[in-house]
Structure 1
Amino acid sequence: MASQEGIREAIALIRGATAASLATSAQGQPFASLVTPAPAPDLSPLLWLSALSAHTRQLAADPRCALMFTGTAEGPNPQTAPRVTVTGLAERVAEDQAAPLKARWLARHPYAALYADFADFGLWRVAIGGALHVGGFARAERIKASELAPDPAAVAAILAAESDIIGHMNADHPDAVAAIARGLLGAGPGDWRMVTIDVDGADISDGNQSVRLAFLAPLSDSEDARAALIRAAREGRNRLQG
C-alpha cells in the first residue's frame, strides 16, 4: 500500500498540472509528446487533441498510454523534482457528453479558446490504471488506481454544488477570490474568478491563465468546501497584509 503522503502528492501533481508528457506507441515504436491536461472531477486526465497530431492517431489505434506529471526540483538536480507517471487507457469522449468536460478543460487552459472549436479537435479521457510516484531522488512507490480515485459520493456532492459555490464566490466574495489568487497562490493583479472546484481543490482564472488552489484534505460536501475556502481566503489576506 502506498503512503498517504505519496498519494496526496501524486493527486496534487495530476490535479495541478498545466502540461504533461504523453507516451504512446506506433507499431511497437514508443513516442513521446507534450500535452496540456486538465483533470475531470474523478481525476481522469482530460486531453483536447487534434486529429492531425501523431499521438492522437496512435491513441486511436492503441489506447494504451502513459502520462508523466512533473513538479519543481528543489535545486539544480532535476531528479529531486516530484513526479508521477500514470498508465491507462485513452478514449475519445462522445460529442454529446463532451460539453461539460470541455468547459472544464478550457477553465484550466483559457488561452486555448482561440482554437478550441477547430473541427479537427476532440476531447479524450484517460482511465487511470495505476501510477508510479517519485517523491524525489531515490524515493519511488507504486500507487493503485483505487488509491488515487476520490470517493464517488464526494465527487458527486461537489459536482452538484459546483455551480452554486462558484457563483456565490464570484458574485458575493470577489475580494476573497482575489486574496486567494494573489496572496496565497502568488498570482499577479487581474480579474481573478473561480472557474472550477473539485474534491481536491479549485481553479481560479483571470481569463488568460489559471492558478490552482489545493485543499489541505479532500472535501466531502459543500460545507467542507465553505470551510476550505474561508481558510484559504483568510490565509491569502494575511499574506497580502504582510
Structure 2
Amino acid sequence: MKDQASVLRETDEEARKLARILLRSARYGALAVLDPATGFPFASRVLLGTDIDGVPVILVSALSTHTKALEADPRASLLTGEPGRGDPLAHPRLTTQCIAETVERGSSAHQRIRTRFLDRHAKAKLYIDFPDFRFFRLMPQSASLNGGFGRAYLLEGADLMILSPANDAVAAQAAQVVRDLVDKHPDLSGALAKLFNEPNGAAWRVCGVDCAGFDAISGDLINRCEFESLIDNAADITSHISKIAYSVREI
C-alpha cells in the first residue's frame, strides 16, 4: 500500500494563507458532529463568523441536533470552501477539526462576537438575542487543506489562529478604525470591487477588522484581505489599514 503521507505536500506559508482565507471568508459551512442519540456523524449547514483571534464562531439554537451533539461531545469538523464553475473537486476546500466552546451570555467575549457576527449576518438580528440561541467558538485543533487536485496539506490549529498580543486592543478600536477608513477613502467600495475582481456596481463595505487583515462584504459575498504581516501593536492598525486602502485605490 502506498504511504498516505506521500500524497501530501510540505505545508508552506502559501498553503497557510489559502487555508486562513477559506476559513475567514466563509459566510457558512458544513458542520459535522456526533449525534448523541445514534452515535452516527451528523452534518448540517451553519452560519459562520470569526472572533478577533481568527477562531470560527457559530450561532445555533438549543433545539438543533448539532447543539445537543456539541453539549454531549464538543468535537466537531467544519468544512469551508465554495465550488466554482466546472468540477467542484477542482476548487480548494478546508476541513478543520475543532473543539467547541460555549460563549457565556453577558461576557465581554459574547458582546464582541455578537457585534462581529452581525456585521456579517445582519438578518441574524431577528433571532440573535433569543434565549435559546448561543454562540460556540470552534477552537481549531488541526486541518486538512485540499487546494485542488494534487495539492493536499496538513495544518496545525495554530496555523488558522491570529496569535497577536494586540487582539483585545484592536477589537476595542475596530469600529472606529472602519469609520476612519471610510472617511479617509470615500472611494473604498469601488476600489474593493476592483481588488476582488467583482462588478463595479457592487457596493462593498468592510465588515470586520483584526490583527491579520480585514473582511469585506457585498450582498451575499464576503472576501478576505490579509495584511502582509501580523499586527502586534494596536497603534499600528490604522497604518496597516491605510496601506491596504491606498493599494486598492490605485488598482
User: For 2:120 and 2:102, how far apart are their aligned partners in 1?
Assistant: 19
Q: Is the 8 A contact 2:77 2:97 kept in 1?
A: yes
Q: Deviation digits for residues 46-103 of structure 1, max 9, x if unmatched?
A: 1010111111111111111010111344x51111111111111112100122111111
Q: 1:187 Cα deviation (Å)?
A: 6.0
- Cα 1:175–1:209 shift into 2, 3 Å: farther
User: For 1:224 and 1:8, how far apart are their aligned partners in 2?
Assistant: 21
- The equivalent residue for 1:88 is 98
The structure 1 residue matched to 2:245, chosen from 228, 233, 236, is: 233
Q: Is the 8 A contact 2:33 2:66 kept in 1?
A: yes
Total equivalences in the alignment: 236
Q: Is the 8 A contact 1:66 1:87 kept in 2?
A: yes
TM-score by length of 1: 0.85
Alignment pair present for 1:119 and 2:131: yes
Q: Deviation digits for residues 190-223 of structure 1, max 9, x if unmatched?
A: 76543420123223457x6563341252431456
> Match of 1:38, SS?
strand
- Cα 1:199–1:187 shift into 2, 3 Å: farther
After superposition, residues 99-118 of structure 1 pair within 5 angstroms as: 99-118=111-130
After superposition, residues 135-150 of structure 1 pair within 5 angstroms as: 135-150=147-162
Q: Is the 8 A contact 1:201 1:212 kept in 2?
A: no
In percent, how many aligned pairs have the same letter? 28
Segments of 5+ residues of structure 2 without an aligned counterpart are: 1-9
Q: Which moved more, 1:158-167 or 1:78-87?
A: 158-167
- Corresponding letter in the other structure for 1:87: Q
* Structure with the largest fraction of helix: 1
TM-score by length of 2: 0.82
Alignment pair present for 1:4 and 2:13: yes
Q: 1:231 Cα deviation (Å)?
A: 4.4
- Cα 1:16–1:205 shift into 2, 3 Å: closer
- Cα 1:223–1:99 shift into 2, 3 Å: closer
> Match of 1:90, SS?
strand
Alignment pair present for 1:217 and 2:228: yes
- Cα 1:5–1:191 shift into 2, 3 Å: closer
Segments of 5+ residues of structure 1 without an aligned counterpart are: none
